[in-house]
Structure formats: C-alpha cells, structure tokens
Amino acid sequence: MTNQQQCEAFFESRKTLILSTVDSKGGLETSVAPFVFHNGKVFIFVSELAKHTQNLLWLIEQNQTLTNNRLPGLVGGLLLADESQTEQLFARERMTLQLLASEVDKHSQQYAELLELFQQQFGEVVELLSGLSDFHMIELAIQNGGYVKGFGQAFAFENNPCSGLTPITRN
C-alpha cells in the first residue's frame, strides 16, 4: 500500500474530529465533534451551547467583516489513531488540518443533503438534533495539513487530505 493509500484509509476510518478553536479573547478551546467529508470538505453539526461552536460562529462573523482577508489557520483539526491499536505512542498515526470555517445556510439544498449524510453515518439522533434551533452546520475547508504514519514518516499536503503528500524533512 502506498503512503497516499494508507493516508486515505486512515482518513476514511475516522468519524470524529478533535477541534482547536480560539475565542474573541484569544483563549483556546479543544473539543471533539463527529464529522462527514463531502465534496472535498469537512462538515460538523454542532450546538451553539458548545464553546467550540460559539468560537466558530464568532470566527465566521469576523471573516465576513474582513474583505479578501480571511483568517485561515484559526481552526485546527486533529484525527488520531486509537491508543489501544497503537504499538508506539510516540509514533501514533495522526493527521493535522488547518481549516477555514463557514456556516451552511439552514434553508439551502446543501444543508438538507448534509443532514441526510449525517443521518446515514450517525443514525436517528441526527433527526432529533436537526429539530433543535441551536444546531449549526459548519463547513470546514481544508487549507493544508500533515499526516504522520510513524517514526520518520511525516508528510504535508495542501487542500485535499492525502493528495500530493510531500515528505517533511529537517531543514
């Protein structure tokens, strides 16, 4: 299996994304959310009661007030291999993502399609959550990222996970 195939298999096997977000005062929040990957983008369906959602909505608002000067990199994503399936934790398989957030309009066809994808992947709970007014569909466009397969096996990519993997070397 090639590095790209291993990276793709890892990415496709993950169902939750660890998020790092920043609030309006520069405070960091790390949390987790289920996600779906569709048309080259990551989507999360999250409650505004969660601190990470409040941070994302604030960031989206800030991005909309800046013309042609978005703030990519203020949302970090992390996918991790299960500790129980990792022989050496120092070389744990993982993927990092730098993400640009935007909100999907609740009245759009895209929103309905994404809800269906979430329901297919995560079950009936999504139907219940979709009826709650505090839930938001957030699009996370991948700007760049990295994939670590093990010791001495680290790669970088732009835009699409696992596409055009470039080995990371010491300068």
Query: Cα separations (Å) of 50 from 70, 110, 129, 144?
Result: 23, 23, 14, 26
* CATH code assigned at 29: 2.30.110.10
Question: How far is CA 150 from its chain centroid?
Answer: 21
Other residues' Cβ atoms within 10 Å of the Cβ of residue 34? 17
| pTM score of the predicted model | 0.91
* Long-range contact pairs involving 81-89 (C-beta distance under 8 Å, separation at least 24): 81/10, 88/150, 88/151
Each residue's pLDDT expressed in tens, for the chain with a length of 171 residues: 899 999 999 999 999 999 999 998 989 999 999 999 999 999 999 999 999 999 999 998 887 776 555 555 579 999 999 988 888 898 899 999 999 999 999 999 999 999 999 999 999 999 889 888 999 999 999 999 999 998 989 999 998 899 999 999 877
69 is in which domain, residue-wise? 3-167
How many domains is the chain built from? Answer: 1
Which tokens in the block code for residue 33? 């959310």
What are phi and psi for residue 96, nearest 5 degrees? -110, 145
